[in-house]
């Protein structure tokens, strides 16, 4: 069963990760994983630009290599860029040495395409071994989330995805979406409504 929001005890069990920001400020943090992907990332950027909102894009290095101009567009529009490994690896099933090489490959791909060194990292599937986390934390903040609408879940309706995103968003929330081909349909159906919702609720979007 998909867990749409973070149980309150989880940050206490895993304090080395960033799960959300200050609950005192009327701000939220939109994040998009797995891009850049032509068509999908373009759609997200267009919807954000319509509302003058900013977001955080955790990019797969291989996609940056394939689509450098699109990655550059994300940067040019003032959004935050983070490392999401080069090949979308599952940390639990990957030896630490191999995983760290893949993280570095992503870092180098982003540096080559965009001339920046991201200081944010998100693990694909949220899965990291303790040793991987310790190594990555020397150079990056490890960003998780507290709201996951489930745009990738093929068994869930778009309406449920949208309603859960609205229900669990609150001050300081880090909200996880995906700008990839598998989520393109759902994202096109829910993102405009969700962005209108957070705007109507008086939330500001911010960079991590």
- Is pLDDT larger for residue 116 or for residue 8? 116
Longest dimension (CA), the chain: 46
pLDDT at 1: 43
- Local structure of 158: helix, strand or coil: helix
Q: Which domains does the chain have, with CATH numbers?
A: 24-205 (3.20.20.370)
pLDDT-derived band at 14, boundaries 50, 70, 90: confident
Average pLDDT rounded to a whole number, residues 153-157: 91
Answer yes or no: is pLDDT of 104 > 90.
Answer: yes
Neighbours of 181 (CB within 10 A): 12
- Local structure of 94: helix, strand or coil: coil
Distance, in Å, from the CA atom of 99 to the CA atom of 107, rounded to the nearest integer, reads 13
pLDDT at 9: 64
pTM across the whole model: 0.95
Answer yes or no: is pLDDT of 5 > 70.
Answer: no
**Interval 41-79: pLDDT, tens:** 999 999 999 999 999 999 999 999 999 999 999 999 999
């Amino acid at each position: 069963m998909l867990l749409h929001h973070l149980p309150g005890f989880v940050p206490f069990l895993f304090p080395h990760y960033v799960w959300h920001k200050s609950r005192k400020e009327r701000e939220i943090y939109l994040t998009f994983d797995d891009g850049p992907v032509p068509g999908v990332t373009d759609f997200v950027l267009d919807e954000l630009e319509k509302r003058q909102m900013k977001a955080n894009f955790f990019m797969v290095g291989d996609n940056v290599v394939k689509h450098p101009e699109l990655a550059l567009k994300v940067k040019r529009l003032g959004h935050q860029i983070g490392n999401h490994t080069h090949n979308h690896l599952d940390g639990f099933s990957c030896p630490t040495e191999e995983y760290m090489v893949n993280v570095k490959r992503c870092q180098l791909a982003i540096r080559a395409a965009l001339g920046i060194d991201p200081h944010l990292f998100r693990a694909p599937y949220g899965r990291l071994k303790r040793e991987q986390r310790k190594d990555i934390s020397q150079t990056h903040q490890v960003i998780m989330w507290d709201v996951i609408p489930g745009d990738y879940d093929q068994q869930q309706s778009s309406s449920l995805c949208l309603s859960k995103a609205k229900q669990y968003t609150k001050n300081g929330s880090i909200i996880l979406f995906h700008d990839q081909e598998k989520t393109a349909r759902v994202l096109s159906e829910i993102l405009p409504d969700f962005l209108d919702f957070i705007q109507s609720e008086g939330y500001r979007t911010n960079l991590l």
